[in-house]
Homo-oligomer: A and B are copies of this chain.
Amino acid sequence: MFKINENYLKLPGSYLFSTIGKKVKAFEQANPDRNIIRLGIGDVTLPLAPAIIEALHMAVDEMGVQETFRGYSPDQGYEFLRKAIVDHDYKPRGVDLDIDEIFISDGAKSDSANIQEIFGPDNKVAVCDPVYPVYVDSNAMAGRAGDYLPEKEGWSRIIYMPCTMENNFVPEFPKETPDMIYLCYPNNPTGSALTKDQLQKWVDYAIEIGAVILYDAAYEAYISEENVPHSIYECDGAKRCAIELRSFSKNAGFTGTRLAFTVVPKALKCGDVSLNGLWARRHGTKFNGAPYIIQRAGEAVYSKAGQEQTKAQIAYYMNNAKVIREGLTQAGYLCFGGVNAPYIWMKTPDGMTSWDFFDYLLSRAGVVGTPGSGFGPHGEGYFRLTAFGSLENTKKAIERIQALNR
C-alpha cells in the first residue's frame, strides 16, 4: 500500500491569506453597502509597462511564424535575458557574475520553496520571526523542520530569530548554530532594510560557521537609501556563502506574468561539490524553462524605456508608502518600513493583538491589512499595510483610519 509524505500532515491548517479572505467575505456579505479598501496582500495593481507589452506582442508574433517559432528553451533560460541581468543588475554595482550563475525561473516563490532540495535533510534552518511562510513550509514538507509545536507556534527543528522594534528588525546571531540561513532584505513583512555593514556581518558569520545564506532580494528595486545593498554579492566573500533570489514580480509588476531568477555562484561549494552544478541538475531534471515570450518581456524590463517606465511605477508605489507612513504617524501610530520597501509595519495601539486590530480596522474603517502574528509569533502586536493599492484608495484608507482616532 502506498504511503503519503507524512510531513504534509504536520503543517498547520489554514493559510493566512485564506483566513483573511474568508473574514473579509463574511464582512462584505453582512455589510453589502460598505466600501472595502484592500491593503493586505502584496500584489501589484498597475498594468504592465508599455515597453513590456510591446515586447510581449513581438514575441507572440515570433511564435506564430515557422522561422521564428521557439520550442524548448535552454534549461537555465535564454542568454539574452541572463546577459541583461548580469549587465544591468550586477555589473553597475561592481559584482561580476558569469551568465551560467543565473538561473531563470517561473517565480521567486517556486525558487524559494525549491532551493532547499539541494541541501541535506539534517541541516538546521534559521529564519527570521516574523517571516514569509514559504521558507518554513517548504522545509517542513521536506522533513527538515521537525514537528510543529502549537504552544510555540513554531517547528521543533527551526531556529527562529526574533525581529522586533527592540532590535530594529535586524536579527541577532542565534545561540544555536544554523546551517541554512534565510534572510529577506528589504524585508517582507517588516519593511526594514539592512545596511551594507549589517549584511557584511552576516556574510562573515556565515563563512565563519560554514552556513549558506539564502538571500531573498525580491524587493531590492524599492531601496531608496544609499548605504543599503541591492545584492548580497556587494559584500566581500558572499559568493562563497550565499544564493540570491530575485523576482520580476515587484520591480516590474510580473505577479501574474511569472518570471524570476536565482543566482548560484560557482564559488559556492560544499567540500568539492559546486552548488551551481547541483542547482543546474535540479533545474534540468525538474523544470523546463520559463516561456519564451515571458523571457522576452523580462528582457524589455532592462531596455531604456522599460527602466524608465518601471522606475515610475515603483515611485508611484513608494509615494503610497509615504502617504501611509506619514498619515499613520500623524494619527499617533508607531510605523516602520516604507522607505526601502513597499511595506509599512505598524505597532497595534493599546496592546491590541494583531487579529483584534484586523477586526477593528475592517469593521470601523473598512480597511483590510495583514495581522503581523500571521507571519510568526514575534509578529504579534504588529500589522502590515502594503503600498500596492491605488493612490486614491491609499489616501482614502488613511483618512478613514485618521478619522477613527480616539
Pair B113/A286 contact, Cβ less than 8 Å: yes
Cα–Cα, bound, A43→B289 (Å): 14
Which of A5, A15, A65 has the largest number of chain B CB atoms within 10 A?
A5
A44: chain B residues within 8 A (beta carbon): 71
Pair B278/A120 contact, Cβ less than 8 Å: no
* Cβ-closest chain B residue relative to A143: B121
A141 within 8 A of B: yes
A224 within 8 A of B: no
Chain copies in complex: 2
Cα–Cα, bound, A6→B275 (Å): 12
A121: chain B residues within 8 A (beta carbon): 5
Cα–Cα, bound, A301→B14 (Å): 35
A404: chain B residues within 8 A (beta carbon): none
Interface residues on A, range: 35 or more
A257 within 8 A of B: yes
A179 within 8 A of B: yes
Which of A110, A133, A137, A291 has the largest number of chain B CB atoms within 10 A?
A291
Interface residues of A (CB under 8 A from B): 1-6, 8-9, 11, 15, 41, 43-48, 50, 53, 56-57, 60-61, 63-66, 69-73, 106-107, 109-110, 113-114, 117-123, 133-134, 137-138, 141, 179-180, 209-212, 253, 255-258, 270, 273, 275, 278, 281-282, 284-294
| Additional 20 contacts, C-beta under 8 A, given A5-B121, A109-B288, A133-B285 | A2-B119, A3-B119, A3-B123, A4-B270, A5-B117, A41-B72, A45-B71, A46-B66, A47-B64, A63-B256, A106-B106, A109-B287, A110-B286, A113-B285, A117-B141, A134-B285, A255-B288, A256-B289, A257-B291, A258-B289
